[in-house]
Amino acid sequence: EIVMTQSPATLSVSPGERATLSCRASQSINSNLDWYQQKPGQAPRLLMYGASTRATGVPGRFSGSGSGTEFTLTISSLQSEDFALYYCQQYNNWPRTFGQGTKVEIK
């Protein structure tokens, strides 16, 4: 099973600032990585697929990068609606596995 490790667990950022979230895979997953956003009481929402392609309707301030084992999600200028939990997930191998999540909170 591929283990996905996200860091940090919590990221405290002021509105308008840049946030950088990391995700590491225990073995190469090529670019088969998604990022999801989850707000309290809501289902997850697909943000990014293929490591760097924004899903439909996702604002341009979100960008993804990486391949192999190291990946990054960057939010260039945090808006109030971006404070949430973020999960990475690999779909290179079965079973599909998620990271434990990074909580982006208001500083």
Partner 1 sequence: EVELVESGGVLVQPGESLRLSCAASGFAFSLYSMNWVRQAPGKGLEWVSYITSDTRTINYADSVKGRFTISRDNAKNSLFLQMNSLRAEDTAVYYCARSVAGSFDHWGQGTLVTVSS
Q: How many CB atoms lie within 10 A of CB 75?
A: 22
Q: DSSP secondary-structure letter at 14?
A: -
Positions 62 through 101 that interact with partner 1 (CB under 8 A): 87, 89, 91, 94-101
Q: How far is the CB of 56 from partner 1 (least distance, A)?
A: 8
Q: How far is the CB of 14 from partner 1 (least distance, A)?
A: 26
- Does residue 9 belong to the site contacting partner 1 (CB under 8 A)? no
Q: How many CB atoms lie within 10 A of CB 4?
A: 22
Taking CB under 8 A as the criterion, the residue among 32, 54, 69, 75 binding partner 1 is 32
Nearby residues of 9 by Cβ (< 8 Å), 6 or more positions away: 100, 101, 102, 103
The first and second tokens of residue 77, run together, are: 């200028």
Residues forming contacts to partner 1 in the complex (CB under 8 A) are: 1, 32, 34, 36, 38, 42-46, 49, 55, 87, 89, 91, 94-101
